[in-house]
């Protein structure tokens, strides 16, 4: 972490323990929102700390979704990213965590046991982007049909592609 | 059927399928339950029947063309989705809309919140056999829809906002008309209050039904009336005020029980608070233009388009290439009728969004539905579902 990054984060959080600091790659501010990019190895321990530390108390996981930067006009470390939106209602603070995942191995630890909300959000990220969540109890499609092939929100999935269902509906032939 | 209902530990349970097309599910929701007698012992949900990949579609249209898609998210209060989306794009552009535009958006949002709550309570009561309230409420809803129609020509899918402003300014006489509609509403609310709030049957059917604790509500990411019914006074209009919400005098309504009855009371209270906001806003609508004075964002006036080369060029550029926000990503959230409606928009400096992500409040809330229902009866589940106000358009996107 650079010194400017530490300063930005200090506006939002009490100082992180030394071992967790190493997991934070960088901190950015854009339009008043703070985004911390973190290493995927340290994601779970960092979120656990943010949730449970009495000075942080990020008690709500507001959102979790994936990004595909394949055609993005700016350089990103990896193709995929997951964005976690944590909110502390008590202190009225918001923090965005971003973790980059490689194209070959888009895999990260599940946090469904830290926030119950994460269960469906992780299933959605799997369904639409093909991100794998280690330890998720039921990582199946949630929005698309079970026979759907591919992950529709990836940039290399054509937006005008059609897929035909293999199973015949009972009404076919009428 | 790809959602597997894990077989309960013994075959003494009866399996029942509700939906996806069922009068009590309010949309295309499919629910599997395992019953012991009439008591729910296990429940699995299947969603996605109304999935149309809003987020993918948004990537193939210009920034302004996405607005009609947002109508179809929570179609009961379409205007709030319009406002939420353009707010995110405006934040990305780094512009602030005019005071007049902000005030109009507040009025329309609060009217939308009222009709959303009217539908929620009305339909919830119908599910439990109380038809009268539904008619009382729908009469008022029609009046509000007439107002919307006068403003933009559409009643349900309004597409009323534009990036940097509104589709149209308020027509003549609209403010007085709106005042008449708003002044009529308290009487209807009182009527339904009298019919339901102290009604023995209503209380028996809703009190203690589908409860959720404070801690669990936070775990599941509840927002909006469902969260406030558990006693947490979190409202984005107070916590992160936008559009001068902090300048109006109004209160956050909370209840502590977290059950269906508490959610009903919160919604009833919120409508009265929204009326307060609308009345204060109507009294003080600033003059001046509605749209920002920037031809790279808002269309130039027609006489400029027809009579000047600059106007014509700006019009052409905006229609053909669209707005081009700077590269970056922002998240903007508004307090919609169901809770925090967030739009996370990403731009790569092109005329089309690189990615639009919507955070629908229903998605988080519906996930908790099994936990709220297990141990209760099927009829309780119907009461609970109605009070959560799940809108499939927003749930499945």
Interstrand relation of A80-88 and A107-109 (parallel, antiparallel or unpaired) = unpaired
Model pLDDT, residue B2 = 38
Tokens of B302: 């027609």
Query: How near does any CA of chain A get to the CA of B307, in Å?
Result: 37
CA gap B271, B226 in Å, rounded = 15
The mean pLDDT of B221-225, rounded to a whole number, is: 91
Say yes or no: A96 contacts chain B, CB-CB below 8 A: yes
Does residue A154 sit within a domain? no
Residue A65 belongs to a domain: yes
Q: Which of A62, A73, A143 is nearest residue B51 as measured by Cβ atoms?
A: A143
- Cβ–Cβ under 8 Å, residues B388 and B365: yes
Query: How close A94 comes to chain B (CA, Å)?
Result: 11
Of B256, B236, B229, B265, nearest to B336 by C-alpha is B236
Residue B8: CB partners within 8 Å, gap ≥ 6?
B34, B41, B42
CA distance B339 to chain A (A): 11
More confident call, B8 vs B17: B17
Classify residue A48: in a domain, yes or no: yes
ipTM higher than threshold 0.90? no
Q: Mark yes or no for CB contact B55/A128 under 8 Å.
A: yes
Residue of chain A minimizing CA distance to B51 = A143
- What does the pLDDT profile of chain A (174 residues) look like in tens digits? 666 677 777 767 777 777 777 788 888 888 888 888 888 888 888 888 888 888 888 889 999 999 999 888 888 888 899 999 999 888 888 888 999 998 888 889 899 888 999 999 999 999 999 999 988 888 888 888 888 888 999 988 988 888 887 765 543 332
Neighbours of B54 (CB within 10 A): 20
Q: What is the DSSP letter of B169?
A: P
Question: A46 in a domain, yes or no?
Answer: yes
Partner-chain contact B53 A117, CB within 8 Å: no
> Can you tell me whether residue B40 is helix, strand or coil?
strand
Average pLDDT of span B373-392: 88
pLDDT at residue B302 is higher than 90: no
Q: Give percent of chain B with pLDDT exceeding 70.
A: 96
The reported pLDDT for the residue numbered B89 is: 92
Provide the 3-class DSSP secondary structure of residue A36. strand
Flag whether pLDDT at B45 surpasses 90: no
Q: Which of B301, B349, B344, B290 is nearest to B322 (CA)?
A: B349
Please give the angle made by the CA atoms of B241, B244 and B245, to the nearest 5 degrees: 60
CB-based contact (8 Å) between A12 and chain B?
Answer: no
B216 exposed, middle or buried (CB, 10 Å; 0-12, 13-18, 19+)? middle
What was the pLDDT predicted at A20?
A: 76
Burial of B191 (0-12, 13-18, 19+ CB in 10 A): middle
Mean pLDDT on B215-243: 90
Q: Nearest CA to CA, how far is A24 from chain B (Å)?
A: 20
**B278, pLDDT greater than 90:** yes
* A61 interface with B at CB cutoff 8 Å: yes
Output the six-digit token pair for B242. 């936008």
Please give the residue of chain B at the shortest CA–CA distance from A88: B218
Domain that holds residue A113: 3-134
The predicted-structure confidence for B57-79, as pLDDT tens digits, reads as follows 999 998 989 999 998 888 888 89
Q: Are B36 and B367 in contact (CB under 8 A)?
A: no
pLDDT for res B345 = 92
First to last CA, chain A: 65
Instruction: Domain count for chain A, please give it.
Output: 1
Task: Supply the pTM of this predicted model.
Answer: 0.88
Dihedral sign from CA coordinates of B393, B27, B216, B35:
negative
C-alpha distances (whole Å) from B219 to each of A24, A88, B140, B223, B368 are: 25, 12, 36, 11, 9
Tens digits of residue pLDDT in B317-330:
888 888 889 988 89
Does A124 map to a domain? yes
Cα distance between residue B374 and residue B213, in whole Å: 14
Mean pLDDT of B230-256: 89
Residue of A33, A60, A140 with shortest CB distance to B331: A33
Chain B CB contacts of A167 below 8 Å: none
Q: Does A168 reach chain B within 8 Å, measured CB to CB?
A: no
**pLDDT score recorded for residue B3:** 42
In a domain, residue A166? The reply is no
| pLDDT tens, position by position, B123-164 | 899 888 888 888 998 889 999 999 999 998 888 888 899 998
Nearest CA in chain B to A125: B357
Q: Is the CB of A89 inside 8 Å of chain B's CB atoms?
A: yes
Contacts 24+ apart (CB under 8 A), B329-332: B329/A30, B329/B92, B329/B355, B330/A30, B330/A31, B330/A33, B330/B88, B330/B91, B330/B92, B331/A33, B331/A63, B331/A85, B331/A96, B331/B88, B332/B84, B332/B87, B332/B88, B332/B91
Residue A155 in domain:
no
Distances (CA, A) of A41 to A25, A109, A151, B24: 12, 8, 25, 45
| pLDDT for the residue B1 | 35
Of B51, B94, B363, the CB nearest to A144: B51
Asked whether residue A110 is assigned to any structural domain, the reply reads: yes
**Given an 8 Å threshold on Cβ–Cβ distance, is A142 in contact with B367?**
no
CATH number of the domain bearing residue A12: 3.30.460.80
Which among B92, B221, B327 has CB closest to A62?
B221
DSSP state of B20: S
- Count the helices and strands in chain B (H runs, E runs): 17, 8
Could you give the angle at the alpha carbon of B96 between the alpha carbons of B91 and B97, nearest 5°?
115
All residues of chain B having their beta carbon less than 8 Å from the beta carbon of residue A89 are 218, 232, 234, 239
């Amino acid at each position: 972490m650079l010194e400017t990054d530490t300063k930005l984060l200090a506006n939002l959080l009490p100082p992180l323990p030394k071992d967790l600091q190493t997991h934070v790659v960088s901190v950015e501010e854009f339009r008043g929102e703070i985004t911390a990019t973190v290493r995927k190895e340290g994601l779970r321990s960092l979120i656990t700390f943010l949730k449970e530390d009495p000075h942080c108390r990020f008690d709500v996981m507001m959102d979790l979704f994936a990004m595909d930067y394949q055609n993005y006009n700016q350089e990103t470390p990896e193709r995929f990213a997951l964005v976690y939106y944590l909110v502390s209602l008590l202190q009225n603070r918001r923090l965005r965590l971003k973790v980059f995942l490689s194209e070959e191995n888009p895999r990260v630890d599940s946090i469904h046991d830290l926030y119950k909300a994460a269960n469906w959000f992780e299933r959605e990220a799997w369904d639409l982007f093909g991100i794998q969540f280690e330890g998720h109890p039921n990582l199946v499609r949630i929005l698309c049909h079970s026979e759907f092939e591919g992950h529709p929100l990836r940039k290399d999935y054509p937006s005008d592609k059609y897929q035909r269902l293999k199973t015949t509906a009972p009404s076919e032939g009428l | 059927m790809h959602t597997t209902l894990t077989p309960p530990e013994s075959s003494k349970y009866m399996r029942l399928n509700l939906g996806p097309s069922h009068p009590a599910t309010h949309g295309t929701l499919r629910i599997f339950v395992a019953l012991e007698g009439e008591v729910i012992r296990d429940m699995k949900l299947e969603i996605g029947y109304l999935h149309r990949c809003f987020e993918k579609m948004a990537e193939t249209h210009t920034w302004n063309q996405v607005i009609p898609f947002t109508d179809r998210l929570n179609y009961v209060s379409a205007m709030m989705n319009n406002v939420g989306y353009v707010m995110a794009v405006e934040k990305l552009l780094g512009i602030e809309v005019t005071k007049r535009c902000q005030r109009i958006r507040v009025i329309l949002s609060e009217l939308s919140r009222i009709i959303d709550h009217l539908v929620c309570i009305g339909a919830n009561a119908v599910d439990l056999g109380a038809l009268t309230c539904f008619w009382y409420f729908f009469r008022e809803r029609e009046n509000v829809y007439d107002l919307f129609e006068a403003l933009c020509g559409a009643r349900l899918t309004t597409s009323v906002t534009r990036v940097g402003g509104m589709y149209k300014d308020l027509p003549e006489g609209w403010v007085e008309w709106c005042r008449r509609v708003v002044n009529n509403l308290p009487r209807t609310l009182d009527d339904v209050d009298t019919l339901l709030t102290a009604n023995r049957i209503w209380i028996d059917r809703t009190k203690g039904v589908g409860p959720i604790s404070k801690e669990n509500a936070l775990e599941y990411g509840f927002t909006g009336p469902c969260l406030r019914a558990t006693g947490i006074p979190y409202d984005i209009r107070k916590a992160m005020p936008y559009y001068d919400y902090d300048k109006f005098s109004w209160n956050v309504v909370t209840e502590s029980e977290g059950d269906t009855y508490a959610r009903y009371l919160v919604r009833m209270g919120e409508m009265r608070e929204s009326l307060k906001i609308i009345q204060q806003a109507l009294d003080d609508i600033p003059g001046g233009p509605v749209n920002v004075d920037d031809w790279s964002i808002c269309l130039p006036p027609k006489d400029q388009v027809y009579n000047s080369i600059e106007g014509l060029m700006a019009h052409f550029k905006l229609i053909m290439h669209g707005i081009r926000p700077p590269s970056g990503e922002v998240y903007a959230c508004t307090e919609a009728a169901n809770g925090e409606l967030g739009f996370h928009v990403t731009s790569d400096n092109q005329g089309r969004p690189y990615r639009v992500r919507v955070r629908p409040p229903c998605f988080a809330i519906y996930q908790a539905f099994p936990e709220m229902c297990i141990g209760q009866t099927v009829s309780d589940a119907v009461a609970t579902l109605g009070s959560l106000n799940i809108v499939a358009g927003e749930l499945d996107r």
